[in-house]
Amino acid sequence: MLAQSGFGVFVLTFLLALFSVGAAVVGYFDKSDRWVEAARRAMQLTFPLISLATLMLAYLLVTGHYELQYVYSVTSNDMPFYLKLTALWGGQAGSLVLWSWLMSAFASAVTLRKWERDRELLPWVIVVTSVTLAFFLSLTILYENPFARWWQTTGGDFVPRMFAPAGAVPITPADGQGLNPLLRHPGMIIHPPMLYLGFVAFVIPYAFAIAALVTGRSDDRWIRLTRRWTLVAWLFLSLGLVLGMRWAYDVLGWGGYWGWDPVEISALMPWLTGTAFLHSVMIQEKRGMFKQWNMLLIILTYALVIFGTFLTRSGVLSSVHAFSQSAIGPMFFAFIGITFVTSVALLIYRWKDLRAEVEMKSLFSREALFLLNNLLFMGVLIVCFWGVIFPLISELVTGQKVTVGPPFYLRANGPLFGALLALMGIAPLSAWGRSTYKTLGRALWKPSIPSAIVPVVLAILGVHNWIALVGFTLVAFVIFVTLFEFWRGVRSQQKKQKVNFLVALWQLAGRNHRRYGGYLIHLSMVVMAIGILGIELYQTTTQKTLAVGEDIQIAGYTLRFDSLAQFPYTDGRIVTRAALSVFRGDKFLGNLYPRYDYYTASGQPMTIAGVRSTLADDLYVVLVNWENVSAAQAPFKVYHNPLVNWLWIGSLMFIFGFLVAAWPEREDEKREGKI
C-alpha cells in the first residue's frame, strides 16, 4: 500500500508541475496575477509532496521491503541503518528521486522571495524550473519507478511487473543484494548529494537568464538576484568533484585520484562553464560588458548539467561511476536538444539588445584578461567534450567504440591549465578600462623576482623536469602575487586608519569579501596544483609477491611483510588483511594494513589500501590478486605519491575562501532592500 501511495504522489506532483507551467504562461500573457500566484503555489506544493514520497521510499529501504525491485537491488539485511538510508541514491531510480527532490526544494525556495521589483520575471522562472522538474519526474514515472514490485515466473526468475508473463506471482525475497561495495565509502555517501546540489542549483540562474531573455530585460538585475545561487551551485559542484576524487583515491586501489573517466569529465564540464560564468559576470556588473557571453555561458552550463546526468544515467558510456543500460537515454537526448535549441534561439532573438554598454579599450585591461581566462576554460571544455563523445561518434561511424585515454587529456589540457595559472597571477594586477603593457609590467616586477628564484632553487635541489619547473614557478608566481595584493591593501588600510596589521587585514577583507575571498580561492587552487604536479610527475610504483619476512623498497622506504589474516565480519564481509612494517633506513615508521573486503551476498570485493600520509608524500599499498593470497605469501603493489596531500589541504582552503567570498556585504543588502 505504501509503495502504491508513493507512486501516486509522484504522479500528482508531475501533474502539479505541468499545471504550474500552464498557469505561469497564461498569467504572463493575460497579465493576471491570480494565475501567476496559482503557478507559484503549485510550485511550492511540489516540495512537500516529493518529500513525502521520498520519506516513504526511505522507510521502505530501511525496513527491508525486498518485494520492491529497487529496495532489493540496493539494500540487504546485514547493512547498517545509515547505509540503508544512503542507498536512496545508490541506484538509478533513487538517484532520479533525489534529483527531483532537490529541484523541487530549490524551485520552491526561490519563489518564496519578494518579487515586487521583478514581477515580470517570476512566471518564466516558474516555467523553466517546473519544466525541468516535470522532466525528471516523468523519467521516474515512466521508466525508473522505485516502487515497482518483483514478480516470479513459473521458472523461478525474478522480473519487474511490466515484464511479468501470465502466471507470474508477486514475490518477497528474504534478503536483498545489498549496496555495491564501492559505494559504501564515506566519500561516496556524500559525493552524489554534493554533485546533485551543484547541478540543481545551476538551474536557478539559468531560469532567471531565460526569464530575462523572454521579457527583454538587458540589465544585470538577473545576475545580482542569482549571485549567491551561482556561488552555492559552484561550491557544491566543486565539493562533489573533490569528494569524488577522494573516493577514487581511497577505494579504487589504483593509486590515483582522477582517471579522466567519462563520467568524471561529465561533472567537470559544467564546472568549467560555471567557473567562467562566475568570472565574467563580474565584468558585466562593473563595466556593462559580456552580456551576450554570460547568457551563452549559463545556457551551456544548464545544458551540460543535463548532459552530465544523461551520461551517468543512460549507460551509453562505460564507467565505474555510471549506472547500467537504461531506456531513459532517448528522453534525455530529446530534452537536451529542445531546451538548448530554444535557449539559443531566444539568445539570438535578443542578441542586439544585449550589446555591451562600453567597448574594450585595451588588450591588457582586466576585462580583456578575464575574457582570455574564459576562452581558456572553453578550450579545456572543448577538449573534454570531444574526448567524451568521440567513442560514441566512432561507434556510430565505424561500428567500433574507440576510447580516449588520459594521455590525450593531459597533453591537450596541460598547456591550457598552465596558461590559466599564469592568468591567476597576471589578471589581479591589471587595471579596469585602459591599461598598457608598461603599467602591467610595473605591477608585475615585484612578485616576479621571488618567482624567478624558485626554479633556480628547485634545480639546485635536483628537480630537472621542465614541466615541474614551469608548473612550480607558476604556482609560486600566483602565491607571491596574491600575497603582494594582500600586503598592498593592508598597508594602504594601515595608513588610512592607523591600525595594526591584523586589524587592517580584517577591515580590508570586510570591505570587499568577493575580491579577497576570490584571492583565497586562487590560493587554494594553486595549493591543489602543488599536489597535482607532485603525483602526476613524480609518482613511482613497484609490485612484488612477498613471503612472510621479505621486504620491498620504494623511494627510500622499506616495507616488510609481517603477516596475513582472513576473518569474517558480522555484516557478511570476509576480510583478508595484510600487516606490513614501514622503515626509512633503520628507523621504524609504523604499520600499514592493506586489505580486501569480500561481500558474500553480492559476490563483490572492495580494495582498501594501506596509506601512510605526510605533507611530503603518501605511501600507498594495495593487496592485489587476493584470490591467490595465503598465510605464507601475498602479492603487493606499492605507490609512492609525492605531495598528494596538498591536493586535499587546498580543498579545505577552498571552502574557507568561498565562505569569505560569499559573505554578504552591507552594500549588497542595501541594494536588495534588506537593511
Cβ neighbours for 460, distance < 8 A, ≥ 6 positions apart: none
Report the Cα 29 to chain-centroid distance in Å.
Answer: 38
Assess contact for 211 and 124: CB atoms under 8 A. yes
The set of cell numbers assigned to 160 is 519487474
The phi and psi torsions of 510 (rounded to 5 degrees) equal: -70, -30
| Of the ranges 327-341, 444-458, 531-545, the best mean pLDDT one | 531-545
Question: Which of 354, 369, 404 corresponds to the end of one domain?
Answer: 354
H helical segments located in 160-288: 186-201, 203-215, 221-251, 262-287
Q: Residue 173: pLDDT band by 50, 70, 90 thresholds?
A: confident
Residue 429 lies in a domain: no
| Closest to 598 measured CA to CA, from 622, 628, 563, 567 | 567
Residue 411 lies in a domain: no
Assess contact for 340 and 310: CB atoms under 8 A. no
Q: What is the pLDDT of residue 453?
A: 93
CB under 8 A, 24+ apart: contacts of 543-552: 543/624, 543/635, 543/636, 543/637, 543/638, 544/635, 544/636, 545/633, 545/634, 545/635, 545/636, 546/633, 546/634, 546/635, 546/636, 547/632, 547/633, 548/631, 548/632, 548/633, 552/636, 552/638
Query: What gap in Å lies between CA 237 and CA 231, rounded to an integer?
Result: 10
Please, what's the largest Cα pairwise distance for the chain? 88
Question: Which of 354, 378, 401 corresponds to the end of one domain?
Answer: 354
Residue 152 lies in a domain: yes
Q: Residue 506: pLDDT band by 50, 70, 90 thresholds?
A: confident
Assess contact for 45 and 111: CB atoms under 8 A. no
| Placement of cell 584571492 in the chain | 519
Residue 390 lies in a domain: no
Residue 122 lies in a domain: yes
Query: What gap in Å lies between CA 443 and CA 365, rounded to an integer?
Result: 13
Residue 135 lies in a domain: yes
Which amino acid type is present at position 380?
A: V
Q: What is the pLDDT of residue 189?
A: 81
Residue 437: Cβ-neighbour burial (10 angstroms; 0-12, 13-18, 19+): exposed
**Across residues 600-618, what is the average pLDDT?**
87
Q: Is 641 left (phi over 0), alpha (psi -120 to 50) or beta?
A: beta
Query: What gap in Å lies between CA 383 and CA 363, rounded to an integer?
Result: 26
Residue 264 lies in a domain: yes
107-158 pLDDT per residue, tens: 999 998 888 888 899 999 999 999 999 999 999 998 889 998 876 665 656 6
Q: Which helix (H) or strand (E) holds 573?
A: strand 573-584
Q: Which residue has the higher pLDDT, 324 or 430?
A: 430
Q: Residue 322: pLDDT band by 50, 70, 90 thresholds?
A: very low
Q: Is 74 left (phi over 0), alpha (psi -120 to 50) or beta?
A: alpha
Q: Which helix (H) or strand (E) holds 645?
A: helix 645-662
Q: Residue 598: pLDDT band by 50, 70, 90 thresholds?
A: confident
pLDDT at residue 324 greater than cutoff 50:
no
3-state secondary structure of 409: helix
| Closest to 305 measured CA to CA, from 341, 256, 339 | 339
Report the domain count for the chain.
Answer: 2
Question: Which of 332, 354, 376 corresponds to the end of one domain?
Answer: 354
Q: Which of 101-105, 250-254, 511-515 has the lowest mean pLDDT?
A: 511-515
- Average pLDDT of every residue of the chain: 87
Which amino acid type is present at position 389?
A: I
Residue 501 lies in a domain: no
- State which residues form the domain around 164: 2-274+288-354
Query: What gap in Å lies between CA 459 and CA 266, rounded to an integer?
Result: 38
Whole-prediction pTM: 0.90
Residue 147: Cβ-neighbour burial (10 angstroms; 0-12, 13-18, 19+): buried
